[in-house]
Amino acid sequence: MSQDLSGFSMLELFRLEAESQTAILSAGVLAIEELERSPATIESMMRAAHSLKGAARIIGLDPAVRVAHAMEDCFVAAGKGTFHVRPEHADVLLAGIDFLSTIARAQDALSPESLWAVNAEKLVLALADLMQAAPVLPAPVARIPTTAETQVPPPQEADPLAAVQPVSAASRIEQADRVVRVSADSLTRLVGLAGESLVETRQLRPFVDSLLHLRAAHVELCDTFAVVEEKLKGEDVSIPSPLLGMLARVRERADQCLLSVMKQAEDFESFARRNEDLSGRLHHEVIVSRMRPLADGIRGFPRLVRDIARTLEKQVRFEVRGDQTGVDRDILDKLEAPLSHLIRNALDHGIEPASIREAAGKPAMGTIRLEARHRAGMLSITLTDDGRGIDSDTLRAKAISKGLVARQVADQLSTVELLEFLFLPGFSTKEEVTEISGRGVGLDVVQTMVKAVGGTVRVSTQLGRQTAFTLQLPITMSVIRALLVDVGGEPYAFPLTRIDQIVFCHHDDVRTIEGRQYFERDGLSIGLVMASQIFELTPVGPPADPMPIVVISDRGQQFGMVVDAFLGERDLEVRPLDPRLGKVPNMNSASLLENGNPVLIVDVEDLVRSIDNVLMGRRLSRVEFERLAEQARQRKRILVVDDSITVRELERQLLQARGFAVDVAVDGMDGWNAIRSARYDLVVSDVDMPRMDGIELVTLIKNDPASKDIPVVIVSYKDREEDRLRGLDAGANRYLTKSSFHDETFVRTIIDLIGEPTQ
């Protein structure tokens, strides 16, 4: 759910959205400049241009609509393979992005006498020329390089005598080291199979343990036979010889069985150990085949630093440590854009001009350092600048001025908490955003990209000395390192990259304020919740003392979850959940433990949202809660799902003005979670959205017995007949275009489906 933006005008909302979407477009162009074009980059740019086009159309800004539409056409064609975006196209694309950013801030943007239309026409023609002039190139495939790659000769026509002619030693070596080309999809599947093999092999360990227990029991049995035999021989009573003979044969047979069990246990243990070692080495080699040195993804950064430093008339040295650190190629493809954002921010707002540095006793030349290393089974990348740092007082003032936090609350926030505001969309400490960067502009994009691969980003600063951004990423996406915990008798896995810390807290250290529980850690107050309550499980008993706690956070919100026990760390092979389940609340994927039992892997971002929703509900007194519940029963409730902040707010205002109660969701997945946790009379959804699009959302709603009867209205810019049929086939009750906002069609459709807003 989003914050209340009802006090903003449509133009102000468009400006907020333009800041966020042009940052995404800029990141994509930077990636294209470095020849790291990927489908994800093109798709994000297409979606950003599409959202900007729709938002501009809402406020009647036709020049922006035309430019955004032309850029969207470029990216759509690139996604289909009919147009190849090349680095030399960057100037035109950046000109279009600058136009959209500038017109959003312009005071005369809506004036019909302005020159915006003329400039827009020039850009539209330039973008059209790009697609007409650019040849279509074949899509790249993943390659496994070898040490002799440069020695491989070009392909020759087959020689029918080659089979009978002698082959030199040099030729044999060359043939052994020849390059192999493998598609990226095949390599991804191979990594998955190697990871599955590793996990399956480790399941042999419980069988080894069972055999060892059986051997110990057999030893005890043989010892018992020996004791019995000795006692019988020592008795005064006469024992029949046949009985003594039978006893001796039983003991002899037991000894033989013991030797056999010991031999089988030793052989199986050796077999399991060899297989585990073999699977481990296989998995390692396959992972290495997907690895590329970090240097491959940052080759353009020295030039980037040099060019921008000259533009800003600053002296800057760029240092790289650990450039040969291996990075999964899928992760490396996504790293360039966020790192480019961070470098531009450091150059524009971190590093000071030479005169200011010298006056502060610093060297005239500033330093930006990029450092990468593998640590505790994860990839750690840190970008540090020795510039002015980030002023926490400026951050606090900006957060208050934007209405993000009350002054009384802001005064109590620590520096760590204030730094989290930098990752909010459109947040910047500067009054005017420069062409190069803005401290905070684009950082929400950085965080989104990092989270997309299961990582986290942290920022630390020392005023007047330095700022450091640290990215914690998985080394590979097929196998993750996770902490296993016990909750309600069931195991759950928390990815290590998403855990802030694990602690033990005594009952006496817990404080209660306004019905909410907290504990202190490193000078911070951390909200405390029971994991069993969030996962809707029955507690196995009262919490232990001290309580094991997993501390997690997302976008400035930090919570401690009380679990029943820590079960240790594991390497888990990631398996997606069955798509028929839809989005399982608070869960991301699944895996298997060594004993074959399934374990769910937690979605920390979703989990933090669930915790916040629970705590927000508990702030209400009983009387207040009943009053709000009664109001909800009397008013028709509608959920609006759209990734465009402008469209979202327009739809909310239109519906609230007619008396409907309205909630909003920022994408399909957020909307699905809302539908599963609350009752709605109708859902309004866009089609093109990240994480889960509108067609998927409609399909989930109509296939779920609990929500299948909820009317769904799709409102999209796509007005082709095939788009309309696709939405209706998925189960939507109505399909409208967003031009319906300009008359009564939208509201009339809602009333036709569910009636007037009050019962």
pLDDT tens digit sequence for 275-310? 877 877 787 777 777 778 888 888 778 878 888 888
Around 219, how many Cα atoms within 13 Å sit in the side-chain half-sphere? 7
In degrees and rounded to multiples of 5, residue 572 shows phi and psi of -115, 135
Q: Write the burial class of residue 753 (CB in 10 Å: 0-12 exposed, 13-18 middle, 19+ buried).
A: middle
Q: Where are the domains of the chain?
A: 10-133, 201-292, 298-474, 479-613, 622-754
Q: What is the DSSP string of 362-379?
A: --SSEEEEEEEEEETTEE
| CA gyration radius, the chain | 32
**561 has which bridge partners?**
529, 550
Angle (CA) 249-252-257 rounded to 5° is 125
Specify whether the CB–CB gap between 427 and 397 falls below 8 A. Answer: no
d(CA 477, CA 202): 19
pLDDT recorded at residue 386: 94
Buried/exposed code over 451-490 (b: 16+ C-beta within 10 A; e: otherwise): bebbbbbebbbeeeebbbbebbbbbbbbbbbbbbbbbbeb
Picking from 563, 566, 561, the residue whose alpha carbon sits closest to that of residue 610 is 561
Lowest mean pLDDT among 33-37, 129-133, 594-598: 33-37
pLDDT recorded at residue 514: 59
Is 298-474's fold the same as 479-613's? no
Residue 618 binned pLDDT confidence (cut-offs 50, 70, 90): very low
DSSP H or E segment with residue 214: helix 204-234
Q: Is the pLDDT of residue 163 over 50?
A: no
pLDDT recorded at residue 756: 83
Q: Is the pLDDT of residue 359 over 80?
A: yes
Higher pLDDT, 19 or 229: 19
d(CA 621, CA 635): 21
Q: Which amino acid is at 525?
A: S
Lowest mean pLDDT among 140-144, 720-724, 725-729: 140-144
d(CA 472, CA 495): 11
Higher pLDDT, 152 or 692: 692
pLDDT recorded at residue 162: 33
Q: Cis (ω within 30 of 0) for the bond into 546?
A: yes
Picking from 83, 84, 76, 124, the residue whose alpha carbon sits closest to that of residue 100 is 124
Specify whether the CB–CB gap between 297 and 330 falls below 8 A. Answer: no
Q: pTM to 2 decimals?
A: 0.45
pLDDT recorded at residue 36: 57
d(CA 480, CA 588): 12
Higher pLDDT, 681 or 162: 681
Q: Is the pLDDT of residue 171 over 50?
A: no
Q: Which amino acid is at 171?
A: S
pLDDT recorded at residue 364: 93
d(CA 405, CA 411): 10
Q: Is the pLDDT of residue 494 over 90?
A: yes
d(CA 426, CA 18): 9
Output the average pLDDT for the chain.
78
- C-alpha distances out from residue 161 to 154, 155, 175, 240, Å: 19, 16, 17, 87
d(CA 377, CA 658): 55
Higher pLDDT, 425 or 387: 387
Under DSSP, the state recorded for 666 is S
Residue 605 binned pLDDT confidence (cut-offs 50, 70, 90): confident
Picking from 509, 531, 506, 530, the residue whose alpha carbon sits closest to that of residue 520 is 509
Residues 6+ apart with CB under 8 A from 129: none
pLDDT recorded at residue 377: 66
> What percent of the chain has pLDDT above 90?
14
Q: Is the pLDDT of residue 148 over 70?
A: no
Digit-coded pLDDT (tens) for 28-68: 776 675 555 677 788 888 888 888 888 888 888 888 899 99
Q: Is CATH 1.20.120.160 the classification given to domain 10-133?
A: yes
Q: Is the pLDDT of residue 484 over 80?
A: yes
Quickly count: other Cβ atoms within 10 Å of residue 368's Cβ: 23
Q: SS3 of 237, please?
A: coil
**CATH for the stretch 622-754:** 3.40.50.2300
Residues 6+ apart with CB under 8 A from 554: 604, 605, 608, 609
Mean pLDDT score, 683-708: 90
Quickly count: other Cβ atoms within 10 Å of residue 137's Cβ: 11
Higher pLDDT, 164 or 640: 640
Buried/exposed code over 179-202 (b: 16+ C-beta within 10 A; e: otherwise): eeeeebeebbebbbebbbbbbebb
Task: Give the helix ranges, DSSP H, for 453-569.
Answer: 531-534
d(CA 477, CA 535): 25
Q: Give the 3-state secondary structure of 390-456.
A: CCHHHHHHHHHHCCCCCHHHHCCCCHHHHHHHHHCCCCCCCCCCCCCCCCCCCHHHHHHHHHHCCCE
Residue 384 binned pLDDT confidence (cut-offs 50, 70, 90): very high
Higher pLDDT, 569 or 579: 569
Edge to edge, the sheet with strand 734-737 lists 661-665, 637-641, 682-685, 712-716, 734-737
Q: Is the pLDDT of residue 113 over 80?
A: no
pLDDT recorded at residue 504: 92
In degrees and rounded to multiples of 5, residue 520 shows phi and psi of -95, 135
**441 has which bridge partners?**
none
Q: Is CATH 2.40.50.180 the classification given to domain 479-613?
A: yes
pLDDT recorded at residue 527: 85
Mean pLDDT score, 710-720: 87
Q: Is the pLDDT of residue 142 over 90?
A: no
d(CA 630, CA 621): 14
For helices 90-105 and 116-133, angle between their N-to-C axes, nearest 10 degrees:
160
Q: Is the pLDDT of residue 367 over 70?
A: yes
Q: Is the pLDDT of residue 467 over 90?
A: yes
pLDDT recorded at residue 236: 55
Q: Is the pLDDT of residue 7 over 80?
A: no
pLDDT recorded at residue 428: 64
pLDDT recorded at residue 683: 95
Residue 141 binned pLDDT confidence (cut-offs 50, 70, 90): very low
Around 136, how many Cα atoms within 13 Å sit in the side-chain half-sphere? 9
Picking from 428, 450, 455, the residue whose alpha carbon sits closest to that of residue 440 is 428
Mean pLDDT score, 479-506: 88
Superfamily (CATH H level) for 298-474 = Histidine kinase-like ATPase, C-terminal domain (3.30.565.10)
Lowest mean pLDDT among 152-156, 439-443, 709-713, 716-720: 152-156
